[in-house]
């Protein structure tokens, strides 16, 4: 890992740079696949599934028999764990419900806001080296609570043309209405335009590699909303001498094993802690089945020493981490002053893994610094707010003159007339 001591503020952006390609590096490839999918639908999905996933499929849709088979292949212990996580996620997201907000802004003028579900949503679930069935819980559970009527899931098949049984079991458990065996750029394009198999959706959710991230951004050009530009995973740990070095190292490695383009950072006010964590990372790394992936991610990672809590929090807010662990004696200071983070984990016994799976919070979070302006996925992500107003005779008299004056000042005579006619009818 790269050790950096007291970096100058002028160098922070360079020090904190993510190991990601730019949109320009990938955009040409994405646009090409989008055009093909828009033109030829399932034929192109199958073409790229054969090219990227090394399997030729006649039918991209998961069948009922495949779902039933998956149920028998998932252990009872794992089913119980998934159901526990689902319950906690439901509790937390149900608590986010809000009712109708209504107010009389002026005499005779009633305004209110109500929320409605987004009718058609698409969920992208990464497969590949790690089949993230936990992400289905994070997306399908709030979608179901919100009342989305169509929940479409896309995930890349293995080289036998199958999806991981845990993905199928969890999708069925959470009310997914259609499961499609397709991944990558072509899956995002399919949900954007609709094909013979994939319905067109109104909003796309879910993490993915850099290609999926850029594909989601391109999808917005075609009128499809996205949750956020969520790309390769990242974690920042703030630790002082009160932290447990073994715990900190385990958290860093838990994110590093996601992929070679993941980034993990330790910020500390203790040089001794930095040294201890570095040793622990090397020791724990050797026992990981995915150690080669984690090792490459660790090469992109940083151990940063700063002199003070204030310097540390300023650096953290500049980075805007997706996942952020606070293990510090002065934790209240960091909690109060954190402005930019996707999800925050506090104390020595709150691993980031808890939020990934079963604490109840959502693990679909903004990466690449987008925590400065994006929220993580929550119940409102699957809903939109609609405003209503009702004005009676007294109300139009109350605000009518102001509307006439403002419309006239903007040169919009028809706007003014719409009010004038009503006011005249009441004379």
CA-to-CA separations, 134 to 23, 83, 123, 223, 309, in angstroms, rounded: 27, 11, 12, 28, 34
**In which element (H, E) is residue 3 found?**
strand 2-5
Same domain for 198 and 288: no
Active site residues: 322-323
Listed residues 304, 338, 360: the one ending a domain: 360
What is the crossing angle of helices 184-193 and 210-219, to 10°? 20
Expressed as residue numbers, the domain containing 209 is 23-98+118-227
Residues 140 and 51 in one domain: yes
Does the annotation list 94 as a binding residue?
no
Residues 254 and 211 in one domain: no
Q: Is residue 321 part of a domain?
A: yes
State the CB neighbour count (10 A cutoff) for residue 101.
12
Q: Is 227 annotated as a binding residue?
A: no
How many whole angstroms separate alpha carbon 71 and alpha carbon 60?
A: 20
What per-residue confidence (pLDDT) applies to 21?
A: 60
Last residue of a domain, one of 196, 227, 258: 227
415 labelled as ligand-binding? yes
Distance linking the first and last C-alpha atoms of the chain: 80
On whether 329 is known to bind a ligand per the annotation, the reply is no
- The answer to whether 403 touches 53, Cβ cutoff 8 Å, is no
Name the nearest CA neighbour of 9 among 315, 245, 235.
315
Shared-domain flag, residues 176 and 239: no
Same domain, 61 and 173: yes
Query: Does residue 372 sit within a domain?
Result: no
* Residue 124 assigned to a binding site: yes
11 and 71 assigned to the same domain: no
Counting the structural domains of the chain, the total is: 3
pTM, full prediction: 0.94
In a domain, 171, yes or no: yes
- The per-residue pLDDT for 45 is 98
Question: Residue 234, Cβ neighbours under 10 Å: how many?
Answer: 31
Alpha carbons 379 and 427: distance in angstroms, whole number:
48
- C-alpha–C-alpha distance, residues 72 and 172, integer Å: 13
Q: Is 77 annotated as a binding residue?
A: no
151, part of any domain: yes
Spell out the residues 6+ positions from residue 334 whose beta carbon is closer than 8 angstroms to its own: 238, 309, 312, 313, 316, 326, 328
214 with 263, same domain?
Answer: no
188, 236: one domain: no
- Quick one: 140 and 265 in the same domain? no
Q: Strand 109-117 and strand 101-106: pairing?
A: antiparallel
Tell me which residue of 267, 396, 281 sits closest to 326, measured CA to CA: 267
Assess if residue 382 is contained within a domain: no
Q: Specify burial of residue 382 (Cβ count, 10 A radius: 0-12, 13-18, 19+).
A: buried
Residue 379 lies inside a defined structural domain of this protein = no
Which regions of the chain are under pLDDT 50?
none
- Distance between CA atoms of residues 390 and 384, nearest Å: 20
* 93 assigned to a ligand binding site: no
* Same domain membership, residue 398 and residue 350: no
Which of 1, 8, 2 is CA-nearest to residue 306? 8
DSSP letter string, 399-418: HHHHHHHHHHHTT-HHHHHH
Tell me the per-residue pLDDT of 39-60, one tens digit each, with 9 for 90 and over. 999 999 999 999 999 999 999 9
Beta pairing class for 2-5 and 178-181: unpaired
> What letter does residue 86 receive in the DSSP assignment?
H
Give me 217's structure tokens: 């951004």
- The partner residues of 112 in beta bridges, in order of sequence, read 102, 388
Specify the pLDDT at position 20: 66
Residue length of the chain: 427
Q: Is residue 349 part of a domain?
A: yes
Strand-strand pairing, 120-124 and 109-117 = unpaired
What residue has token string 């802690």? 273
According to the model, what pLDDT value does residue 15 have? Answer: 95
Is position 255 annotated in a ligand binding site? yes
Give me the CATH number covering residue 400.
1.20.5.1300
Domain of 58, CATH number, reads: 3.40.50.1980
Residues 9 and 68 in one domain: no
CB contact at 8 A, 251 and 221: no
Assess whether 156 and 187 both reside in one domain. Answer: yes
pLDDT at residue 258, as a whole number: 86
Q: Which of 360, 384, 405 is the last residue of a domain?
A: 360
Half-sphere exposure (Cβ direction) of 72: Cα atoms closer than 13 Å: 5
Residue 279 forms part of a structural domain: yes
The secondary structure element, H or E, covering residue 356 is helix 352-357
């Amino acid at each position: 890992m790269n050790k950096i001591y007291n970096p100058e503020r002028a160098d922070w952006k360079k020090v904190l740079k993510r190991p990601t390609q730019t949109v320009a590096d990938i955009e040409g490839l994405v646009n090409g696949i989008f055009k093909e999918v828009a033109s030829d639908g399932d034929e192109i999905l199958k073409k790229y599934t054969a090219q990227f996933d090394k399997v030729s499929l006649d039918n991209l849709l998961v069948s009922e028999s495949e779902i039933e088979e998956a149920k028998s292949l998932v252990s009872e212990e794992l089913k119980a764990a998934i159901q526990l996580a689902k319950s906690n996620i439901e509790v937390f997201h149900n608590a986010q419900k809000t009712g109708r907000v209504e107010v009389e802004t002026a005499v005779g003028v009633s305004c209110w806001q109500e929320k409605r579900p987004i009718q058609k949503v698409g969920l992208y679930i990464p497969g590949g080296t790690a089949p993230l069935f936990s992400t289905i819980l994070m997306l399908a559970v709030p979608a179901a609570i919100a009342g989305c009527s169509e929940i479409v899931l896309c995930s890349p098949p293995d080289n036998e043309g199958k999806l991981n049984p845990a993905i199928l079991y969890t999708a069925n458990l959470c009310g997914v209405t259609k499961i499609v065996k397709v991944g990558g750029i072509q899956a995002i394009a399919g949900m954007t335009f609709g094909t013979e198999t994939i319905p067109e959706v109104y909003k796309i959710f879910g993490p993915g590699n850099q290609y999926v991230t850029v594909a989601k951004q391109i999808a917005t050009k075609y009128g499809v909303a996205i949750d956020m530009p969520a790309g390769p995973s990242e974690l920042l740990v703030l630790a002082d001498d009160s932290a447990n070095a073994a715990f900190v190292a385990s958290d860093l490695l838990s994110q590093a094993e996601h992929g070679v383009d993941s980034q993990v950072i330790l910020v500390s006010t203790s040089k001794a802690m930095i040294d201890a964590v570095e040793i622990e990372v090397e020791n724990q790394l050797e026992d990981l089945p995915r150690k080669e992936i984690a090792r490459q991610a660790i090469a992109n990672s940083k151990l940063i020493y700063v002199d003070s809590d204030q310097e540390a929090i300023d650096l953290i807010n500049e980075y805007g981490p997706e996942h952020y662990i606070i293990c510090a004696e002065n934790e209240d200071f960091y909690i109060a002053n954190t402005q930019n983070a996707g999800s925050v984990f506090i104390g020595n016994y709150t691993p980031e893994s808890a939020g990934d799976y079963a604490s109840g919070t959502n693990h679909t979070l903004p990466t690449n610094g987008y925590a400065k302006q994006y929220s993580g996925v929550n119940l409102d992500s699957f809903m939109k707010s609609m405003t209503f107003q009702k004005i009676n005779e007294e109300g139009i008299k109350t605000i009518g003159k102001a509307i006439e004056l403002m419309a006239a000042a903007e040169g919009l005579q028809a706007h003014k007339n719409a009010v004038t006619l009503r006011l005249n009818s009441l004379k």
